[in-house]
Amino acid sequence: MSGLPAWIGAALAAKLDHVSRANLRARAQAASDSYRTGGTSDIIRSETDALAYALARMPATYAAVRACLTQTLRALPGLEPQSILDVGAGPGTASWAGIETWPSVRRLHWIERNDPLLALARRLAAASGAPQAELAVSQGDVARVLADCGQADVVMASYALTELAPSAATAMLGRMWDLTERLLVLVEPGTVDGFKRVLGYREYLLAQGATIIAPCSHHSACPLRDQPRWCHFGVRLPRSRDHLLLKDADVPYEDEKFSYLVAGKGFEGIARGRRILATPRVNKVGVALDLCAPDEVERRMVTRREKDAYRAAKRLDWGDALTS
């Protein structure tokens, strides 16, 4: 299971002294209810709100972004980006996942308009054990700030475009692509609507000449675009005691579903493999896989008789790429 780095957990825990857990739970629930009904980060108006949000949502967001970047790293093992532009950075979650994936990163640039979230991000950046990187912060309306930004090797928007109307999201996507030197990373909730937004991003970026790095196995039309199922992935993460309390949960883990897209510039001949679109099914015959392929979902059975391939297939998980 994938959880927050220990230094983030410790930094958040240090903020909990003399803080009412009941108040935190109420603030976390208010934020969750607002997001679920199409609200924005405007619901986060205080230090307590930001802390409640971080405790409730930061672990899942981090795990989802880290999973996306892990698949990207597998497709591009030699990439060593130096800079990240984090759009709608919140408490810096995507940046922390990025610098964990690529220790080569030396410069971070955050764009965020929410005061309490940005204050928490700054405190985390100054915490003991935090990765060391040159940090630039731009506070204000994201679209306005982006107009004056410089380029970065990796541009990321984690659950940030979700809050925008389609026309505004497309305009911002265009600007982010202009600012991208190598990779653009977009993460959305793993819902039908999240998948539809990702499909729109994909079509736009392909029209701009982008190379799709992940999760797609090809540049053809998505075989799920008109199907009742949708392309999304999942990651399981452990829950801390405070996370259990804030979520009023009794299961010691959480499953985060997400959709994502990673597009690149200057990449050719990428060995993407076939992306696994559902949890592999092991039966008496072998391992059954649903794979991303042009035109339709490819269903492949790796039989027990294929001993080496079977052993390898049993180690694969939902979201991995089959390379042979």
Q: What per-residue confidence (pLDDT) applies to 37?
A: 64
Structure-token match 């410790």, residue found? 10
Please, which pLDDT band fits residue 102 given cuts at 50, 70 and 90?
Answer: very high
Q: Looking at 66-70, 106-110, 270-274, 316-320, which range is the least confident one? A: 270-274
Q: Rounded mean pLDDT of 181-192?
A: 97
CATH 3.40.50.150 fits 6-264, yes or no: yes
Q: What per-residue confidence (pLDDT) applies to 39?
A: 65
Q: Rounded mean pLDDT of 164-169?
A: 86
Residues 249, 1, 154, 261: what is their CA dihedral angle, to the nearest 10 degrees? -80
Please, which pLDDT band fits residue 217 given cuts at 50, 70 and 90?
Answer: very high
Q: What per-residue confidence (pLDDT) applies to 25?
A: 85
Q: Rounded mean pLDDT of 101-124?
A: 97
**Cβ pair 204, 174 in contact under 8 A:** yes
pLDDT higher than 70, residue 255: yes
Mark out the alpha helices in the chain (DSSP H runs): 6-14, 21-36, 47-75, 93-101, 115-125, 142-146, 166-179, 192-207, 241-247, 307-314
Please, which pLDDT band fits residue 35 given cuts at 50, 70 and 90?
Answer: low
Provide the mean pLDDT of the chain.
92
Q: Looking at 26-35, 167-176, 219-228, which range is the least confident one? A: 26-35
All structural domains of the chain with their residue ranges: 6-264, 274-322
**Cβ pair 246, 253 in contact under 8 A:** no
Please, which pLDDT band fits residue 250 given cuts at 50, 70 and 90?
Answer: confident
pLDDT higher than 90, residue 109: yes
Please indicate, yes or no, whether the overall pTM of this predicted structure exceeds 0.75. yes
Percent of the chain with pLDDT over 90: 74
Question: What is d(CA 300, CA 217) in angstroms, rounded to the nearest whole number?
Answer: 15
Q: Rounded mean pLDDT of 300-320?
A: 94
If you average pLDDT over each of 36-45, 241-250, 284-293, which comes out highest?
284-293
* Residue predicted with more confidence, 3 or 170: 170
Q: What per-residue confidence (pLDDT) applies to 43?
A: 84
Q: What per-residue confidence (pLDDT) applies to 268?
A: 84
Question: What is d(CA 276, CA 293) in angstroms, rounded to the nearest whole number?
Answer: 10
